[in-house]
């Protein structure tokens, strides 16, 4: 039996948007404002995580 493997790692525990935002800010501070290729990939991963856990606005009908 074959099992499909996800190409995107899922976080072991779901963090709050504020926790992910803090990590994004720390990444920018460590980089001095210019992200390397590796840091850019980390930033993209963090932004996707932040968007997934952030509050979702309710649209008026």
Report the C-alpha dihedral over residues 42, 48, 52, 57, rounded to 10 degrees: 130
Please name which of 46, 54, 53 lies closest in space to residue 24, comparing C-alpha atoms. Answer: 46
Stated pTM of the model: 0.67
- Which pLDDT does position 52 carry in this prediction? 93
Is 3 or 14 the better-scoring residue by pLDDT? 14
State mean pLDDT over 9-37: 88
Is pLDDT above 70 for 27?
A: yes
Is 14 or 45 the better-scoring residue by pLDDT? 45
- Which pLDDT does position 41 carry in this prediction? 97
């Amino acid at each position: 039996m074959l099992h499909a493997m996800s190409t995107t790692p899922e976080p072991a525990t779901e963090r709050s948007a504020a926790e992910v935002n803090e990590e994004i800010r720390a990444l920018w501070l460590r980089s001095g404002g210019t992200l390397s290729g590796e840091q850019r990939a980390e930033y993209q991963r963090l932004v996707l995580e932040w968007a997934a856990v952030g509050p979702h606005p309710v649209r008026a009908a």
